[in-house]
Amino acid sequence: MEIEVELSKIIINEASDQQIIVLKERYGERSFPIVIGIVEIFAIDRRLKGIQPPRPMTHDLLDTVITSLGARVERIIINDLSNHTFYARIIMSLEGKVVEVDSRPSDAIALGAASGAPIFVDEQVFDKISG
């Protein structure tokens, strides 16, 4: 089962390469942090603030390529946690077919922010975090 989440908090520390985003259940109380890189956190933060860079950034470019090819990012899923590493899938639709692509969560979330796609977390990830 997949649970819809939202970005609850973004913690930017420019003195470190490790930044933190907190994902929280949209209709619940559970939440958890994910450590991501500085490039991805700025891409997410910029998009959420509505700041348009003068030229497309990587995640904006990827979103443009996907839509130019006739596909659409439907949703992002944080689908696993193994050895303290989160895994994600980008779910797209293309000509009536579902296309799934493996991704780092940070890239998937940044693409989701660029495309407006919702983010989901597999229930078993919440189980692993709390267990």
Structure confidence by residue, pLDDT tens digits, 59-100: 889 999 999 999 999 999 999 999 999 999 999 999 999 999
Q: Label residue 7 exposed, middle or buried (CB < 10 Å: 0-12, 13-18, 19+).
A: middle
Fold of 2-130: Bifunctional nuclease domain (3.10.690)
Structure confidence by residue, pLDDT tens digits, 92-122: 999 999 999 999 999 999 999 989 999 999 9
Structure confidence by residue, pLDDT tens digits, 13-70: 888 888 999 999 999 999 999 999 888 898 899 888 989 888 888 888 999 999 999 9
Domain boundaries, the chain: 2-130
Task: Tell me the whole-structure pTM to 2 decimals.
Answer: 0.92
| Pairing assessment for the beta strands 31-36 and 19-25 based on DSSP bridges | antiparallel
Sheet holding 2-11, edge to edge: 31-36, 19-25, 2-11, 119-122, 71-82, 85-94, 97-103
pLDDT at 56: 86
